[in-house]
Structure 1
Amino acid sequence: MSKTSKSSFKRSITPVSLDQYVPKVELKEYLKINDTIYEVDSKAENGMTFSRLLDYKYSDALKKMDPDHLVALVTEVIPNYSCLVFCPSKKNCENVAEMICKFLSKEYLKQREKEKQELIKNLKHIGNGHLCPVLKRTVPFGVAYHHSGLTSDERKLLEEAYSTGVLCLFTCTSTLAAGVNLPARRVILRAPYVAKEFLKRNQYKQMIGRAGRAGIDTVGESILILQEKDRQQVSALISRPLENCYSQLIQEFTKGIHTLFLSLIGLKIATNLGDIFHFMNGTFFGVQQKILLKEKSLWEVTVESLRYLTEKGLLQKDINDKSEEEFQCAFRITKLGRASFKGTIDLAYCDTLYKDLKKGLEGLVLENLLHLVYLTTPYDLVSQCVPDWMIYFRQLSQLSPAEQNVATLLGVSESFIGRKVSGQAIRKKVDKDIVNRLYLSFVLYTLLKETNVWSVSEKFNMPRGYIQNLLTGAASFSSCVLHFCEELEEFWVYRALLVELTKKLTYCVKAELIPLMEVTGVLEGRAKQLYSAGYKSLTHLANASPEVLIRTIDHLSRRQAKQIVSSAKMLLQEKAEALQEEVDELLRLPSDFPGVAASSLEKA
């Protein structure tokens, strides 16, 4: 290759900035105080300059309902462009969405009317006939709320509708800013607060960053609504630099350094003190050690953490290690440590979990699922639980004798809950965590029996999104407890029980629907349709004709039908291969264990 061609080749692969192809979108920041809009201007003396006065003719009723002029601000943008209104709380999201719709023109109802009706129909379908009354009133106007109280299916439908322009306005909490790519022409911050906490600079930037996304829009603007009393704090907010980013390893040893060390030794990445200390020096925490560690050195923190794990029985010094130097002292993981590591159990709760499972062996109630559900209710949600004592009492009094036995074994009596309902003094001390955990277990137990998030939401007066998150957390924790028990021989009895319970918690449907829901693209509603149409097993589904499925099942596209049949065939093949491997393994046994192999093959 000639010199000329070489240089040409080099020029041809020179990296080119994407900014040449995706024009930058200017984001204009505004502040609203009373009727005045100010533009954020770093060159101005107080960080802002006058932009305009809001001059909207509000009726007395509208002034009372909307003192912040939200209706005026959003109607400058929607329905032609999208808008996000960030609210301090979940309840405020719903109230603001409803308030805005009360004062929107009837013309908004005509915008993409058929698509909005289809959205409502789909929301009702995924809710098994239930539809949130707030969404029922707001969606026809192209408005919806977005917060953790929604189920994942509801969020997915609403986000798709917003992305395609069927919905033009979301009232939402700050969580939307962090994890969902839903840009807008205008972003309005209802107040400079998240719940009761004043906004941090990085939170503010994250929220307003939803406005005017490159490649999607040509301009973006944000408006922060504030009261006169917050002017000084907001002035500091818009002018200060972003908060520094610090390692969180030191904040919570049980979730940070201790878990890290157990993983390092469990994976044999580092097994002696010197190697672990060397590893720590290379972490973000190690880089920041002079800033984060005021009283101790990194060496002392490393030694103390290893000592803690050893005292907890999760690690032990390697008996084969003959090194006299402390720096070369080697560690190995214990059975309990391996169980915690394999089960990814939070080390803050591994002691409690071990004791609960050990106590469960003394009187495990197997006449119902309640006891097992209690043992797989996530510990980290217990502290957030605030029971409704009247509902608690009602649930407890409706238990069967066998279910009552579980509460008795845990030390939660009907008389104790009765005293909590009536506000009487409690003489006998009862563990608050056990009481709260049992309450959450009732929620999960009811959900497994009824398999309907909406009815359980009404029964326990809890947001349906919270209940769905509780179920997801329990399914995940049940799997973790199963792996924990697999490493400890004494808990062999839990293994088969937890395999089935994990499936029940994962799918939360009637037992006959579980095999169908293992197929990709089949959720509860579709599984019910397939079961009713005669496809009652994986084999039936794998041998189905996509064309027949389309004619038999309502609202099933050709693409979906082909995907379901293909997925069922693949799953069936995987199960057949797993069984074949088991048979092959058994056939290899006769030379050493002829009696065992013969009896095993008979069972197979």
Structure 2
Amino acid sequence: MSKTCRSSLKPSITPVSSDQYVPKVELKEYLKVNDAIYEVDSGAESGMTFSRLLNYKYSDALKKMDPDHLVALVTEVIPKYSCLVFCPSKKNCENVAEMLCKFLSKDFLNHREKEKSAVIKNLRDMGNGKMCPVLKRTVPFGVAYHHSGLTSDERKLLEEAYSTGVLCLLTCTSTLAAGVNLPARRVILRAPYVAREFLRRNQYKQMIGRAGRAGIDTVGESILLLQEKDKQQVLELINGPLENCYSHLVEELTRGIQSLFLSLISLKIATSLGDLYQFMNGTFFGVQQKILLKEKSLWEITVESLSYLTEKGLLRRDSCGALEEAQCCFHITKLGHASFKGAIDLAYCDILYRDLKKGLEGLVLESLLHLVYLTTPYDLAAQSEPDWMVYFRQFSQLSPAEQNVAALLGVSESFIGKKASGQAIRKKVDKNIVNRLYLSFVLYSLLKETNVWSVSEKFNMPRGHIQSLLTGAASFSSSVLHFCEELEEFWVYRALLVELTKKLTYCVKAELIPLMEVTGVLEGRAKQLYGAGYKSIMHLANANPDVLVRTIEHLSRRQAKQIVSSAKMLLHEKAETLQEEAEELLRLPADLPGLGASDTKKV
């Protein structure tokens, strides 16, 4: 029998101290074909042995809605035990959660009813009164979906509710298996696919590894649902070896190595061709080179990568010797140093430089749109596809200054209108610029409204995706700021990007930003503090924790003390920074020609 015994990760419900014995949890693997359930058995000729038939009375309506018998499988364990149902897509997660709740007994509504009501209230508060209609229908039954379309706060709340048993079932995508420790008594794989790709063995192992909780359960079960047509492929998947592990540099054969070389030369770890080649030989990629490299040698790849960086203007080499000579040394240029400092993807560093340079010729500062465009991540724009009707609607509402930004980028309203109406377009327009401008519209709306829900509805995008875009833009804005700090010609961007990075990081009304710099203060808490009269860091630093506890709802004394302490520390840091700047200004005139010590004192 194929029964894998292993200790699961540390459970999130009942912690086990280091001196306690953690019993191993037996994991039983099953396959479901039609009404029959088979246990995986590597010793059997077919690779599996018959276990049982599903014994569940199905009405005609239920047979039509649930041909895979998910209702039967989950009701064998919930609500007493927890269950995870892995689905191939995000939409499937939501559909399965709703379908299950349509056929679950009304008795499920009574299980931990008050706690589920609290979960619903918290979800509604997160959305400023709005709540996902699917979760509104499923949470009362102890069921929820979990995927990247949710905001991080929503995911965290649902994970906590599941960990504490308030929710007994999550329908989820494969990303949950790798990212979050949410064990279950039973794990069900809805299909042997992730999106349209057939499962890999490491993905399968990661998913079924959620089954069984050390210190809580003595057994865990996984059930993979499959069709007859997939049976042989599934058996090969389950009984076959794990996939080989390869260096990440293989996936990005040039970009990964180029970024590595730029870092090595910038940090002066290795600067000559010979040293860089020697370094590469000692990497995991170097160890695997005989397996991975078919057409080119490691030496050739090293030379080509350095040649590319030199042509891009990120490196310069000594004039003596040919590029292929081992003693040939390389030095990082100002552009290379700026790219390294800003952690800019080398595929986009020259594009970023050109965009910033072009921006200097006509930077539109009547609105934030132009700056937001310059800090919209290139990689996210390359992956996105606009909703053209939404795009046209938003474009037609632009102010004259905002229209000027689009004109400078070469995107016209007539072009967007033709795309929205499905007309043929003869004039070539850079797709990346068009897509990037669309995402900048999303970010710009978010900065103005500071409400993920309203922007989600306006652009017909999942709120989780909008939040990811915002996080990516805040990170990229910080990177662009560091990039500009290293290049004197971009001095004008520095102060502008400091403020924009703050706006993107916090994405709240301007008056709340100073409060959110304090550790432990998020948007909801910042609104409470501001409404109670604490409108600056100084106000918080001088606050009495006991008064804060009485004034601010749901604030513990420990949290209040942490907020006051953090505000005092932040205020102290700001005072020290200002003191250093003042001393620097006082020292500056002494270095200027024509000014003596007496003049310095006057200054």
Counterpart CA distance in 2 for 1:600 and 1:370 is 43
Deviations 1:194-253 (A, max 9, x none): 001100111101100100133343210100000111111111111110000111313324
Q: Calculate percent identity across the aligned residue pairs.
A: 84
The equivalent residue for 2:469 is 470
1:10-409 maps to which residues of 2 (within 5 A)? 21-318=21-318, 326-409=325-408
CA distance in 2, matches of 1:332, 1:440: 37
Structure 2 unaligned spans of 5+: 1-17
Q: 1:31 is matched by which residue type in structure 2?
A: L
Cα distance in 2 for residues equivalent to 1:197 and 1:534: 55
Going from structure 1 to structure 2, the CA distance change for 1:184 and 1:592 (only over 3 Å counts) comes to same
Q: Return 390-399 or 114-123, whichever deviates more.
A: 114-123
Partner Cα distance (2:513, 2:220) in 1: 47
Q: Secondary structure of the equivalent of 1:328?
A: coil
CA contact (8 A) 1:254 1:348 kept: no
Partner of 2:263: helix, strand, or coil?
A: helix
Which amino acid is 2:492 matched to? V
Question: How many angstroms does 1:573 deviate by?
Answer: 1.1
Paired position in structure 2 for 1:533: 532
**Where in structure 1 do 4 or more consecutive aligned residues deviate above 4 Å?**
321-325, 594-603
CA distance in 1, matches of 2:172, 2:268: 45
Tell me, yes or no, if the aligned pair for 1:200 and 1:237 is still in contact at 8 Å: yes
Gap change, CA 1:596 and 1:494, over 3 Å in 2: farther
CA offsets per residue over residues 36-63 of structure 1, 9 Å max, x none?
0000000000110000001210111111
Number of equivalences: 585
How many Å apart are 1:295 and its aligned residue?
A: 1.7
1: CA distance, partners of 2:256 / 2:409: 31
**SS of 1:586's equivalent?**
helix
Contact 2:303–2:324 (CA under 8 A) maintained in structure 1 = no
CA distance, structure 1, for counterparts of residue 147 and residue 302 of structure 2? 41
Deviates further, 297-306 or 373-382 = 297-306
User: Mean alpha-carbon deviation: is it higher for 557-566 or for 172-181?
Assistant: 557-566
CA distance change for structure 1 residues 598 and 367 in 2, over 3 Å: closer, same or farther? farther
Structure 1, unaligned runs of 5 or more: 1-17
Partner of 2:3: none
Note if contact 2:149-2:462 (Cα within 8 Å) is conserved in structure 1: yes
2:262, 2:253 → 1: CA distance? 12
Q: CA deviation at 1:325?
A: 9.0
Q: Could you list the per-position Cα deviations for residues 7-65 of structure 1 after superposition, in whole angstroms to 9, with x for gaps in the alignment?
A: xxxxxxxxxxx999322211000000000000000000011000000121011111111
Counterpart-to-counterpart distance in 1, 2:101 and 2:371:
46
Is 1:431 aligned with 2:430? yes
**Which residue pairs with 2:15 in the alignment?**
none
Name the SS for the 1:170 alignment partner. strand
CA distance in 2, matches of 1:91, 1:43: 38
**TM-score of the two chains, using structure 1 as the length reference:** 0.94
The one-letter amino acid paired with 1:182 is: L
Partner of 1:11: none
Q: Aligned-pair distance for 1:561?
A: 1.5
Asked whether the equivalents of residues 254 and 346 of structure 1 are also in contact (C-alpha less than 8 Å), the reply is: no
Residues 575, 317 of structure 1: alpha-carbon distance in 2 compared, 3 angstrom cutoff: same
- What's 2:562 paired with? 563
Deviation at 1:577, TM superposition (A): 1.5
CA distance in 2, matches of 1:602, 1:534: 41
Q: 1:325 to 1:522 in 2, by over 3 A?
A: closer
SS of the equivalent of 2:489 reads: helix
Distance 1:388 1:455 in 2: 16
Amino acid aligned to 2:169: L
Residues in 2 aligned to 1:600 and 1:415: alpha-carbon distance in whole angstroms = 61
Q: CA deviation at 1:259?
A: 0.3
Contact 1:34 1:68 (8 Å CA) reproduced = yes
Tell me, in whole angstroms, the C-alpha distance in 1 between the residues paired with 2:598 and 2:223.
76
C-alpha separation between the residues in 1 aligned to 2:220 and 2:330?
A: 56
1:131 to partner: Cα distance: 1.1
Q: Residue deviations 1:443-488, cap 9 Å, x none?
A: 0000000000000000000000000000000000000011111111
- Distance between the aligned counterparts of 2:364 and 2:383, measured in 1? 27
CA contact (8 A) 2:586 2:600 kept: no
**Following TM superposition, by how much is the alpha carbon of 1:601 offset from its aligned partner in structure 2, in angstroms?**
10
